[in-house]
A and B are shown apart, each in its own frame.
Chain A
Amino acid sequence: MQSGNTLTRTVLALVAVLLIGAAGFSYVSSIRSPQFAVIQALNSLALGGLLFLLASGFSLIFGLMRLANLTHGAFFMLGAYIGANILRSYDGVNLWFAMIGAGIAVAVFGGLLERFVLRQLSSNSLGQVLVTLGMSFIVADACLMIWGGDPIPVPTPAAFQSPLRVAGFMFPTYRLVVVLCAVAAAIGLYLLLERTRLGAMIRAGVDDMQMARAVGIPVSKLFTAVFMLGAGIAGAAGVLGGPIMSAYPGLDADMLPLALIVVILGGVGSLIGAFVGSFIIGFIYTFGTALLPDLAYVILFLPMIVVIAFRPQGLFGRMSA
């Protein structure tokens, strides 16, 4: 999956992210205050991290199964609600346990969806998209029915409540934790794809499905596994994002478009693309909201248009969607 070309582009893209970030950072710190800029930068990174957790699963599923899973935003929201519910119902349960619980629950749900519904429609990609769209409506409405219309806050773990003080600046600790989790997940996913037998099978499936089948890779089981993996990560990410965003109706509709833009930007099926794209969008969206609250969404057009104009397959994509 890796080549020298990819490495160059990775470095270039990361430099671009850093430059965009630095420019936004210095501009914001000059017009507002350095402390405000630090907070916004951390918010950008945290949003980028959450977007990566969402977009990487979406991208993996797309790459392997040629399936645009529009339920992915709903997985994120479902995870957030389940996590909030676990934390609310059981005293003394910590966030990590809730994350694992919600991740497993959403993964099982995703596995059932893949096995019993999407499987019926293999070779009908439009039908699959429509089913995932329908499922996203059903899940969103079910969440509204079960948990009501008011946002459910997810408490920040006590250990991360007080900000870190470094060099006279305050760093909200939990944002840092989110970023670390996302980076850890990125490394974990990379190792899974590049260094394990399962990862080799997934890569084979992405590259040439027919051939993978022919050499005896259990592609059908692989589909379920990858779908569950993507769903589980999205569900866990919902809980991880909980202390920042809380669980509210419409969370899915807020997150899915951002994840889609990340995938369009980074290129479908590319882990590194999802990583770079997430942080670009995280920065643009957060600084856009801070500086021009009215037009934050308009600014999202720009990276999309630029990338699609020059590289329709995305920064790191090799296949056309």
Chain B
Amino acid sequence: MTIETTSSATPAVEAKSSTLRIAFYAVMGVVLLVLPMFSGDFYINLASQILIAAIFALSLNLLVGYGGLSSLGHASFLGLAAYFAAWFFTRGGVDHVSAAVIAILATSVVAGLFGLISLRASGLGFLMITLALSQVLWGVAFRWAAVTNGDNGLSGMTRPMPFGIDLNGAANFYWFALIIFGVSFILMAIFTESAFGSALRGTRDQPRRMAALGFDVWMIRWITFVYAGFWGGVSGLLYVYYHKYIHPTSLSITTSAEGLLSVIAGGSGTLGGPVVGSILVVMLKNYASAYIERWNMLLGFVFLFIVLVMPEGLVPGTKRLFNRFKGGAK
């Protein structure tokens, strides 16, 4: 948990660094936009998966990084939205837009209920309750075969056609995912940079002082929980569009753990961290599964490595090195 401090920097340096930051985001944006023109379908699809995982990790990071609430059940929202959308589209007979709206709304409502339950605790209690709740959902997806089709999963989902654009091509879907990613990134950035975001960080670092100052700590956490659930649902929607299929494993602890690993590996409480972490996790998963079938074991070892060797995450670690380098050059 690092707290950004720029107070020591002079305004000139600050302005320079913010120009640098804008330039960085602009370059990244252009690179992301033109990526499909220079690579094959395999890499475009990989990039789409990374974008989806990144939205998921960013939403989890609101809780873990900014709220200090380590959830091990965030897959609930990804899986629920995906299941709702797939069920309403393939079985409920509604169109894509309605299915998406229903899925996101229902997921947000469930997030509200789960928040009511799990925010009775904090710390490890919160972690255990979120884990138990999501495992119950996973069990439901497995057992309630009449609705969820059990272990066979729900298939027959198609990709929507916004404004008549066919998303079945890898590049088109990538751009679609990129737009959603951009919107979600900006909205989550605004959320964390707002006064509310500051209050949220306050409840993470000093909950009692925040309460003494008149902030409603519980309400701040609950709103964050629902907001994170909402974006988790959005990632789930993209997930089911991408795979055109949903299986109970999407609700499993492995999915939650992959998200948490992305957050921790990249650096929790930073905006770029979860994105970097997602790149790492998705690439590892894809390349590892091409060579070995032991993804879970590798995931476990990566967990051990990150926690024991690089607990602060890749982005803060690199930032620290960069700052040290800059300080040395001056």
- Knowing A120-B308, A297-B143, A321-B125 touch, does A260 contact B299 (C-beta < 8 A)? no
**Closest B residue, CB atoms, query A254:** B139
CB of B127 within 8 A of CB of A68, answer yes
Which residues in chain B, 89-112, are within 8 Å of chain A measured between CB atoms? Answer: none
Interface, chain A (partner B; CB < 8 A): 62, 66, 68, 70, 117, 120-121, 124-127, 129-131, 133-138, 140-142, 145, 253, 256-257, 260-261, 263-264, 268, 293-298, 300-301, 304-305, 308-309, 312, 320-321
CB of A68 within 8 A of CB of B124, answer yes
CB of A135 within 8 A of CB of B304, answer yes
CB of B136 within 8 A of CB of A129, answer no
**Hey, which chain B residues are within 8 Å of A309, CB to CB?**
117, 120
The 4 closest A-B pairs by CB, nearest first: A321-B125, A134-B303, A297-B139, A137-B300
**Hey, which chain A residues are within 8 Å of B72, CB to CB?**
129, 133
CB of A312 within 8 A of CB of B143, answer no
Known: A134-B304, A257-B135, A295-B143. 4 other contacts (CB 8 A): A117-B304, A131-B303, A309-B120, A320-B122
**Closest A residue, CB atoms, query B256:** A133
Question: Cβ of B30 < 8 Å from any Cβ of A?
Answer: no
A29 to chain B, nearest CB (A): 24
Pairs across A and B, CB under 8 Å, 8 listed: A66-B124, A121-B307, A137-B299, A138-B296, A138-B304, A256-B135, A264-B125, A308-B129
Which residue of A136, A257, A312 is within 8 Å of B132 (Cβ)?
Answer: A257
CB of A130 within 8 A of CB of B297, answer no
CB of B117 within 8 A of CB of A68, answer no
**How many angstroms between the C-alpha atoms of A145 and B294 in the bound complex?**
9
A217 to chain B, nearest CB (A): 23
- Knowing A133-B257, A133-B303, A141-B300 touch, does A260 contact B123 (C-beta < 8 A)? no
**Closest A residue, CB atoms, query B253:** A253
CB of B132 within 8 A of CB of A264, answer yes
Which residues in chain B, 68-82, are within 8 Å of chain A measured between CB atoms? Answer: 70, 72
Interface, chain B (partner A; CB < 8 A): 70, 72, 117, 120-129, 131-133, 135-137, 139-140, 143-147, 252-254, 257, 260-261, 264, 294, 296-297, 299-304, 306-308, 311
CB of A321 within 8 A of CB of B300, answer no
- Knowing A68-B124, A263-B128, A297-B139 touch, does A131 contact B117 (C-beta < 8 A)? no
CB of B299 within 8 A of CB of A125, answer no
**Closest A residue, CB atoms, query B134:** A257
**How many angstroms between the C-alpha atoms of A129 and B131 in the bound complex?**
12
**How many angstroms between the C-alpha atoms of A220 and B246 in the bound complex?**
46
For the A-B complex, the count of residue pairs with Cβ-Cβ distances under 8 Å equals 135
**How many angstroms between the C-alpha atoms of A289 and B14 in the bound complex?**
62
CB of B121 within 8 A of CB of A320, answer yes
CB of B297 within 8 A of CB of A141, answer yes
CB of A257 within 8 A of CB of B136, answer yes
**How many angstroms between the C-alpha atoms of A120 and B137 in the bound complex?**
34
CB of A138 within 8 A of CB of B120, answer no
B7 to chain A, nearest CB (A): 27
A250 to chain B, nearest CB (A): 10
**Hey, which chain B residues are within 8 Å of A304, CB to CB?**
117, 129, 132-133
**How many angstroms between the C-alpha atoms of A295 and B123 in the bound complex?**
30
Most central of B123, B127, B145, B261 by chain A CB within 10 Å: B127
**Hey, which chain A residues are within 8 Å of B254, CB to CB?**
137
**How many angstroms between the C-alpha atoms of A308 and B136 in the bound complex?**
16
CB of B131 within 8 A of CB of A257, answer yes
CB of A136 within 8 A of CB of B300, answer yes
**Closest B residue, CB atoms, query A301:** B136
A281 to chain B, nearest CB (A): 11
**How many angstroms between the C-alpha atoms of A193 and B71 in the bound complex?**
32
CB of A295 within 8 A of CB of B304, answer no
**How many angstroms between the C-alpha atoms of A282 and B139 in the bound complex?**
16
Which residue of B120, B146, B253, B307 is within 8 Å of A130 (Cβ)?
Answer: B307
Most central of A124, A256, A264 by chain B CB within 10 Å: A264
**Hey, which chain A residues are within 8 Å of B147, CB to CB?**
294
**How many angstroms between the C-alpha atoms of A296 and B138 in the bound complex?**
12
Most central of A117, A124, A268, A321 by chain B CB within 10 Å: A321
**How many angstroms between the C-alpha atoms of A294 and B308 in the bound complex?**
41
Most central of B117, B132, B135 by chain A CB within 10 Å: B132
A181 to chain B, nearest CB (A): 26
**Hey, which chain B residues are within 8 Å of A260, CB to CB?**
128, 131-132, 135
- Knowing A124-B311, A321-B124 touch, does A261 contact B299 (C-beta < 8 A)? no
**Hey, which chain A residues are within 8 Å of B300, CB to CB?**
133-138, 141
CB of B136 within 8 A of CB of A294, answer no
**How many angstroms between the C-alpha atoms of A297 and B304 in the bound complex?**
31
**Hey, which chain A residues are within 8 Å of B121, CB to CB?**
308, 312, 320-321
**Hey, which chain B residues are within 8 Å of A300, CB to CB?**
136, 139
**Closest B residue, CB atoms, query A259:** B132
CB of B264 within 8 A of CB of A130, answer yes
**How many angstroms between the C-alpha atoms of A302 and B303 in the bound complex?**
33
CB of A68 within 8 A of CB of B128, answer yes
CB of B128 within 8 A of CB of A297, answer no
**How many angstroms between the C-alpha atoms of A298 and B264 in the bound complex?**
31
**How many angstroms between the C-alpha atoms of A133 and B257 in the bound complex?**
8
CB of B123 within 8 A of CB of A321, answer yes
A78 to chain B, nearest CB (A): 14
Most central of B127, B140, B294, B307 by chain A CB within 10 Å: B307
Which residue of A129, A136, A142, A305 is within 8 Å of B127 (Cβ)?
Answer: A129
**Hey, which chain B residues are within 8 Å of A70, CB to CB?**
131
**How many angstroms between the C-alpha atoms of A320 and B117 in the bound complex?**
14
CB of B139 within 8 A of CB of A142, answer no
Which residue of B125, B146, B260, B311 is within 8 Å of A320 (Cβ)?
Answer: B125
- Knowing A68-B128, A298-B136 touch, does A137 contact B297 (C-beta < 8 A)? yes
**Hey, which chain A residues are within 8 Å of B301, CB to CB?**
134, 138
